[in-house]
């Protein structure tokens, strides 16, 4: 919950905008400001104070305890110009909150945490339990000193400027080890414990078994990702409470699913009780992995619980990111986040140049030229399969004449794939022209490099006969100068010569140009590969210099 405190009418107005945007996330604290801050500090995970930073410093100073547990505090000035991350930038999430508040209120986020200021991810913000010399290793990264990455477990990480060797080290491990001098230990959630239990097995017996199995195997409970069991035990109190105390989810599988898993120690007892010859081992292994601890019984007599431990392989992550038509303000916040999250970026060289300044230090960039689309898709998938966090970029929307289809054709279910939509060239051009896509519309690429012209021609003819607005991508190049005239001729057989046609080149970029002409008046020689051509249907009109395709009952009535 985010506590909101204000003292003036202007602050209350800004506060109410947050309440309207985040009704389930916020709580307003009224009354004397000092008391309101104290109550919010005790009851909320984060605070937004519409007060001077000096005042908030004095109010929260006596309340501060530990940076790992104190709430994050953001201050917004009286004029709503700045959202200042004051306390708990990393641990309390104030840095991210300042960015969210800034975006919502139109304020500039002010983040002074050293790593954030230079684009490095904080070691305590990676989503893993962290131990050791966080401050020292972070300082070494900031100072450009060599910091080694010792990844005992492969796991997707954001970009870090690490080296093969160094006086400082980041150790990624699920083993039960103590951090060395000048070392940070990160605990990835790589361990799954399968659990079976008799009816009414005590929670202490289940907990003791799980913790003992991990400890005896030299594994850290901080790397435990989940407990897993059979559906029939989904409500078993001892298992449910054990998962809650360990702070991990309880995942269940059907007996039929578990029965298909090959295990080293099947048994007739669980087969008779719940319909599968294995619960603990099968539940741990059902999603694959390395069995580190075979089935083990609790020490109680009689034993009422069993467990098994598996190290699950890291799943690489492939984000297929649409960059939009080119303007930086049409790059979505989600796309920005994925670019900064990726440790490996794959893309066309000219697109990489557009967003290179947004990448974090340490991002590995794999770029290539035109014509290497399938190679880029294969490269991106291969890097994800190696356990990396990968961003594969394309212009516009990555699923529209771009990299999503070749990448997904290459990928299988051994990696996580995330699609990040972008503003397409057709949409950007449509906004410039007016509202040409106001009714049914279709996009057709006139490039016959990968699609036979016979297929393209058939699609153009179908759109012409159906009276659908058509946006042509890849309309004309030096080596392909006849396709656009052919397509326009097909449309001309079904539409008047005066049908409006919009021509937009480099939509949203600094050298953008646009013009409105007609089907008869368009000269194909003025069009190139950077141009989008939108041809209206029989209802499309030019209204006040804008291209409009009407939709709705009022328009239909007027046209009758």
The answer to whether the beta carbons of residues 530 and 505 sit under 8 Å apart is: yes
DSSP 335: H
Using CA atoms, how far residue 298 sits from 69, 346, 520, in Å, is 35, 49, 84
Looking at the predicted structure, is the pLDDT value of residue 559 above 60?
Answer: no
Which tokens belong to 119? 């684009």
Report how far residue 539's alpha carbon sits from residue 555's, in angstroms, rounded to the nearest whole number: 10
Residues 6+ apart with CB under 8 A from 25: 1, 2
- pLDDT grade for 116, boundaries at 50, 70 and 90: low
Looking at the predicted structure, is the pLDDT value of residue 500 above 70?
Answer: yes
Phi-psi region for residue 556, left (φ > 0), alpha (ψ -120 to 50) or beta?
A: alpha
Of the listed ranges 351-365, 433-447, 452-466, the least confidently predicted one is 351-365
Does 522 or 125 have the greater pLDDT score? 522
Other Cβ atoms within 10 Å of 465 Cβ, number = 12
Does 124 or 4 have the greater pLDDT score? 4
Looking at the predicted structure, is the pLDDT value of residue 122 above 80?
Answer: no
pLDDT of 272 reads 80
**416-420 β-sheet, strand order:** 364-368, 344-348, 389-394, 317-322, 416-420
- pLDDT grade for 482, boundaries at 50, 70 and 90: very high
pLDDT of 254 reads 94
Angle at 224 between CA 218 and CA 229, to 5 degrees: 110
Looking at the predicted structure, is the pLDDT value of residue 123 above 80?
Answer: no
pLDDT tens-digit series, residues 350-396: 999 999 999 988 899 999 988 888 999 999 999 999 889 999 999 99
The residues with which 322 forms a beta bridge, in sequence order, are: 394
- pLDDT grade for 241, boundaries at 50, 70 and 90: very high
pLDDT of 117 reads 59
pLDDT tens-digit series, residues 187-221: 999 999 999 999 999 999 999 999 999 999 999 99
Looking at the predicted structure, is the pLDDT value of residue 90 above 80?
Answer: no
Q: What share of the chain is helix, strand, coil (3-state, %, to 5)?
A: 35, 25, 40
pLDDT of 119 reads 64
Looking at the predicted structure, is the pLDDT value of residue 114 above 70?
Answer: no
Mean pLDDT (whole number) for 42-69: 88
Looking at the predicted structure, is the pLDDT value of residue 118 above 70?
Answer: no
pLDDT of 360 reads 84
pLDDT of 493 reads 95
The answer to whether the beta carbons of residues 469 and 550 sit under 8 Å apart is: no
Of 73, 1, 74, 87, the closest CA to residue 44 belongs to 1
pLDDT of 249 reads 96
DSSP 247: T
pLDDT > 90: what percent of the chain? 60
pLDDT of 115 reads 62
pTM of the model: 0.72
pLDDT of 534 reads 97
Mean pLDDT (whole number) for 268-296: 90
pLDDT of 151 reads 87
Looking at the predicted structure, is the pLDDT value of residue 70 above 70?
Answer: yes
Looking at the predicted structure, is the pLDDT value of residue 257 above 90?
Answer: yes
Helix, strand or coil, per DSSP, at residue 350 = helix
- pLDDT grade for 554, boundaries at 50, 70 and 90: low
pLDDT of 137 reads 87
- pLDDT grade for 450, boundaries at 50, 70 and 90: confident
Mean pLDDT (whole number) for 259-275: 87
pLDDT of 269 reads 83
Average pLDDT, the chain: 90
**Strand runs labelled E in 284-407:** 290-297, 305-311, 317-322, 344-348, 364-368, 389-394
Mean pLDDT (whole number) for 482-510: 95
Which tokens belong to 201? 């097995």
Looking at the predicted structure, is the pLDDT value of residue 560 above 60?
Answer: no
pLDDT tens-digit series, residues 125-181: 777 888 898 888 888 888 888 889 888 888 888 888 888 888 999 999 999 999 989
Mean pLDDT (whole number) for 88-108: 86
pLDDT > 70: what percent of the chain? 97
Of 309, 286, 315, the closest CA to residue 191 belongs to 309
- pLDDT grade for 314, boundaries at 50, 70 and 90: confident
């Amino acid at each position: 919950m985010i506590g909101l405190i204000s003292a003036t009418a202007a602050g209350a107005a800004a506060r109410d905008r947050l309440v309207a945007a985040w009704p389930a996330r916020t709580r307003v604290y009224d009354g004397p400001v000092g008391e309101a801050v104290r109550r919010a500090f005790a009851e909320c995970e984060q605070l937004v104070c519409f007060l001077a930073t000096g005042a908030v410093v004095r109010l929260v100073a006596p309340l501060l305890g530990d940076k790992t547990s104190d709430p994050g505090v953001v201050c917004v000035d009286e004029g709503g110009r700045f959202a200042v991350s004051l306390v708990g930038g990393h641990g309390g999430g104030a840095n991210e909150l300042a960015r969210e508040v800034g975006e919502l209120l139109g304020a500039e986020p002010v983040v002074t945490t050293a790593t954030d200021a230079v684009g490095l991810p904080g070691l305590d913000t990676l989503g893993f339990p962290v131990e050791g010399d966080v401050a020292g290793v972070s300082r070494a990264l900031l100072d450009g000193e060599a910091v080694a990455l010792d990844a005992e477990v492969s796991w997707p990480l954001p970009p870090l400027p690490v080296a093969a060797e160094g006086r400082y080290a980041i150790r990624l491990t699920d083993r039960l080890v103590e951090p060395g001098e000048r070392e940070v230990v990160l605990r990835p959630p790589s361990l799954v414990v399968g659990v079976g239990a008799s009816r009414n097995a005590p929670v202490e017996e289940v907990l003791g078994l799980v913790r003992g199995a991990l400890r005896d195997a030299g594994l850290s409970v901080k790397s435990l990702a989940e407990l897993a069991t059979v559906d029939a035990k989904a409500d078993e109190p001892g298992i449910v409470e054990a998962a809650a105390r360990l702070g991990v989810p309880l995942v269940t599988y059907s007996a039929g699913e578990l029965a298909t898993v090959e295990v080293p120690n099947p048994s007739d007892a669980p087969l008779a009780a719940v319909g599968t010859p294995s619960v603990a081992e099968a539940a741990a292994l059902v999603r694959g992995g390395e069995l580190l601890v075979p089935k083990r019984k609790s020490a109680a007599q009689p034993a009422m619980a069993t467990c098994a431990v598996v190290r699950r392989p890291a799943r690489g992550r492939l984000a297929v990111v649409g960059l939009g038509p080119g303007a930086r303000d049409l790059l979505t916040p989600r796309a920005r986040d994925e670019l900064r999250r990726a440790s490996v970026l794959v893309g066309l060289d000219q697109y990489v140049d557009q967003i290179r300044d947004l990448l974090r230090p340490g991002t590995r960039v794999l770029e290539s030229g035109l014509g290497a689309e399938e190679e880029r898709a294969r490269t991106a998938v291969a890097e994800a399969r190696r356990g990396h966090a990968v961003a594969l970029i394309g212009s516009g929307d990555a699923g529209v004449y771009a990299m999503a289809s070749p990448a997904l054709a290459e990928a299988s279910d051994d990696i996580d794939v995330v699609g990040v939509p972008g503003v397409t060239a057709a949409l950007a051009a449509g906004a410039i022209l007016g509202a040409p896509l106001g009714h049914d519309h279709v996009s057709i690429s006139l490039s016959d490099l990968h699609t036979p012209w016979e297929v393209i021609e058939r699609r153009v003819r179908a759109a012409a006969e159906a009276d659908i607005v058509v946006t042509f991508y890849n309309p004309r190049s030096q080596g392909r100068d006849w396709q656009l005239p052919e397509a326009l001729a097909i449309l001309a057989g079904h539409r008047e010569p005066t049908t409006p046609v919009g021509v937009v080149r480099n939509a949203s970029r600094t050298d953008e140009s646009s013009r409105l002409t007609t089907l008869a008046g368009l000269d194909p020689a003025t069009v190139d590969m950077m141009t989008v051509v939108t041809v209206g249907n029989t209802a499309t009109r030019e209204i006040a210099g804008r291209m409009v395709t009407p939709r709705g009952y009022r328009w239909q009535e007027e046209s009758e």
